[in-house]
Amino acid sequence: MPVLSHTALSELMCSMFVKAGAPPDEARVVSDHLIESSLMGHDSHGVWRAPGYAKGMRRGVSPASNYEIVKETPATRVIDAKGGLGIVAAYRAMEGAVEKARTRTFGAVGVHRCGHCGRIGAFPVIAAREGMLGLCFLNGGARFTAPFGGTSRRLPPNPLAVAFPRRAGDPVVLDITTSVVAGGKIQVKQARGEKLPEGWMIDAEGKGVDDPERFMKDAAVLPLGGFQFGHKGFGLGLVIEALAGGLTWAGCSSEKPTRGASGFLAMAIHIQDFIPLTDFEQEIERLVEWVKSSDRLPGVSEILMPGEIEQRAREQRLREGIYVDDRTWKEMGETARELGVETPG
Amino acid sequence: MPVLSHTALSELMCSMFVKAGAPPDEARVVSDHLIESSLMGHDSHGVWRAPGYAKGMRRGVSPASNYEIVKETPATRVIDAKGGLGIVAAYRAMEGAVEKARTRTFGAVGVHRCGHCGRIGAFPVIAAREGMLGLCFLNGGARFTAPFGGTSRRLPPNPLAVAFPRRAGDPVVLDITTSVVAGGKIQVKQARGEKLPEGWMIDAEGKGVDDPERFMKDAAVLPLGGFQFGHKGFGLGLVIEALAGGLTWAGCSSEKPTRGASGFLAMAIHIQDFIPLTDFEQEIERLVEWVKSSDRLPGVSEILMPGEIEQRAREQRLREGIYVDDRTWKEMGETARELGVETPG
């Protein structure tokens, strides 16, 4: 169970991706993205993904330059990524949305036919750093979430991520799935041989399932809100289908989605066209103070804003290094050897 | 416990509002809105509100024509409603957003200093009927929701409503709070003398509270997701603070909000600037078929899309009339008498 510096790990991943066939600049973007996720404590979207990404690249990478704009207006763009790397496509989409919002208040760029988009919380923060609200929506991945009242696997986890600036401190960054949990959280339990807590998965009769091995088989994940309030998570998941599946041309979840579904939509809103940015940031700061002044549940030492726990993990791991579990490290080593890349340590 | 036709109830409310001082056209808008809410089964936002609204109007109504535009760009507008009726202001905001979206793809109108906005699911459907995605956000009302990890009353229920068209059938309309329940649901339990289910409210130590009488006193409502996943509902509530409180000039929730908080933001997105409307509607239709094909929990006869239960209630109540509980009917009678309006039946 090695603990490695983020620089060593990043170099290793970048070398692996280049050897696997990714253009060097894209390999760098993806390895930096994965390292940031691991630094922030989101191991399920970090280094753990590297062997899988490298294997995918070996099967062939469509360079990012290969994309096609299928629709464009002053405030919108829809891109066919033609199988290009999702993380690269998502950064480009967010940057495009920010550029459009600069002159049109709102900007939105949709992408279809791209690979795995990584940790979507990484993208809206680009808008927040430019004095904008950033919003990202994704309808991709395995369709393992049950509709409210149902027991079958129907919707992907359908995450959304939103970021906005505050006066003091890093932007607020919310990054959540509309299912109770992301698939990665279940896979982490699986890797550790742990049972699932109550309220995560159900079987065809609606009974709780605590065995993570059944995740990709016969069990369905509940929508956010569970048995009592799951109409809310289900409804939010459908809204994300409309935004990320409908608007991007990717297609909504269905028996056989139009373009494979898995669409990504990045949106930016220029705050200054509503209110001076400093006034907005001041309001957020007052909000932060107000919620942090709340009394706390036993055992809770502080009320955290979305994104704060990640910032703290990042500071710690920058100092202390990133812990990579044995299983992932073994897989990294095997994949690196196959690619002829030397592993550190 | 009278059951009345929607036309008789609507006339009664409209007469009451006019006698209470509302301009006749605005009295009509508000009474129609309340009737629609009752028809759709949302009694907490329907006729039940009429006596309170009438009393508020008697204390003085700022006519809708009295509003001021404090900021305008081609895609945005921010309105100071100067204490005008919230429902009237919200319709105007949504219509303004639709007009702007027609030429700019996106349109957004924010409102501050307005009264109670009613059932916010009523507004985005205006955009959906024009081939747009409609989104509404509200940060108003009593701040009774605890932050994740906290036990104090900090955020309002912070609802959002989203509507979009489908090929066959009425638009999909999601209308949810980011707290586990809206305040009205607790007040309905209170009126009926019922206990609250588990997972709705907590006390200062985080213990469950089942007594609805403590709702506006010492208990706090949990954020959507509860103890396990409440960071999601809390985070969504904060996003709505940024949109409805920050962008509209209303102010975010805080010890003493800038302009009283209670901001309303209406947004419209012109679908055709991303994808032909018929293609979008076809995608939503395929999505509907897919989720409805799910196996169901015991006792569930059908998977319903957001808004369907309301449409069915509406059809039934149009035929059978609207049931008004004794307490509300008594209050209606008293308020009507005070205003010199005759009650039917």
CA-derived radius of gyration, chain B: 20
Structural domain A3-61+308-339, CATH architecture: Orthogonal Bundle (1.10)
- Say if A293 is an interface residue toward chain B (CB within 8 Å): yes
Burial bucket for residue A255 (CB in 10 Å: 0-12, 13-18, 19+): exposed
Residue B1 has pLDDT above 80, yes or no: no
B271 in contact with A at a CB cutoff of 8 Å? yes
Contact B274 A78 (CB under 8 A): yes
Q: Is the pTM of this model over 0.90?
A: yes
Q: What local confidence, expressed as pLDDT, does residue B28 receive?
A: 97
d(CA A123, CA A40): 14
Could you give the CA distance from residue A335 to residue A322 in angstroms, rounded to a whole number?
19
Q: What percent of chain B has pLDDT above 90?
A: 86
Q: Are B30 and B18 in contact (CB under 8 A)?
A: no
**CA-to-CA distance for A137 and B129, rounded, in angstroms?**
23
Residue pair A320/A3 in contact (Cβ under 8 Å)? The answer is yes
On whether the CB atoms of residues A90 and A115 are closer than 8 A, the answer is no
DSSP string for A199-242: TSEE-TTS-EE--GGGTTTT-EEPBTTHHHHHHHHHHHHHHHII
Which residue type, as a one-letter code, is found at position B12? L
Confidence at residue A2, expressed as pLDDT on a 0 to 100 scale: 83
Question: What average pLDDT does the segment A52-63 reach?
Answer: 92
Looking at the complex, does the CB of residue B251 fall below 8 Å from at least one CB of chain A? yes
Asked if the C-beta of A287 comes within 8 angstroms of chain B's C-beta atoms, the answer is yes
Q: How far is B285 from chain A (nearest CA, A)?
A: 9
CB–CB of B164 and A246 under 8 A?
yes
Residue A313 or B60, more confident: A313
Domain limits, chain B: 3-61+323-339, 65-180+225-275, 183-221
When comparing pLDDT for B154 and A260, which is higher?
B154
User: What is each CA distance from A88 to A12, A22, A62, B257, in whole angstroms?
Assistant: 19, 11, 11, 41
Within 8 A by CB and 6+ apart from A304, the residues are: B148, B149
Q: How confident is the model at residue B335 (pLDDT cuts 50, 70, 90)?
A: very high
pLDDT, tens digit, 9 for 90 and up, residues A165-193: 999 989 999 999 999 999 988 988 888 88
Nearest in space to A120 (alpha carbons), one of A131, A110, A105, A135: A135
Specify the pLDDT at position A191: 80
Q: Which of A155, A294, A306 sits opposite B150 (nearest CB)?
A: A294
Alpha-carbon Rg for chain A, nearest whole angstrom, is 20
For residue B146, what is the DSSP state? P
| pLDDT band per the 50, 70, 90 thresholds, residue B241 | very high
Which residue reads 């989605």 in tokens? A257
- Count of residues in chain A: 345
What CATH architecture is A65-141+156-172+231-278?
Answer: 2-Layer Sandwich (3.30)
Whether residues A287 and B253 touch (CB distance < 8 A) is answered with yes
pLDDT for B103: 97
Assign domain B65-180+225-275 one CATH number from 2.40.30.10, 3.30.1370.60, 3.40.50.1470, 3.40.47.10: 3.30.1370.60
- 3-state DSSP assignment of residue B244: helix
In this complex, the residue of B78, B236, B290 whose CB is nearest that of residue A254 is B290
pLDDT category at B345 given cuts 50, 70, 90 is: low
Task: With cut-offs at 50, 70 and 90, classify the pLDDT of residue B161.
Answer: very high
* Distance between CA atoms of residues A145 and A159, nearest Å: 12
Find the CB nearest B296 among A149, A234, A236. A149
Contact at 8 Å (CB) between B144 and B183?
yes
* DSSP element (H, E) containing B133: strand B132-138
Query: Are B258 and A293 an interchain contact pair (Cβ–Cβ within 8 Å)?
Result: no
CB count in 10 Å sphere of residue A223:
31
Count how many pairs of residues, chain A against chain B, have C-beta atoms within 8 Å.
277
CATH class, range B183-221: alpha beta
Predicted-assembly ipTM surpassing the 0.90 threshold: yes
Q: By C-alpha distance, which of A120, A145, A141 is closest to A200? A: A145
In chain A, which among 184-203 make CB contacts under 8 A with chain B?
A: 197, 199
Q: For residue range A128-171, what is the model confidence (pLDDT) as tens digits?
A: 999 999 999 999 889 999 999 999 999 999 999 999 999 998 99
Q: Is the pLDDT of residue A280 over 90?
A: yes
pLDDT tens readout for residues A65-119: 899 999 999 999 999 999 999 999 999 999 999 999 999 999 999 999 998 999 9
Which top CATH class is B3-61+323-339? mainly alpha
pLDDT tens digits for range B263-287? 999 999 999 999 999 999 999 999 9
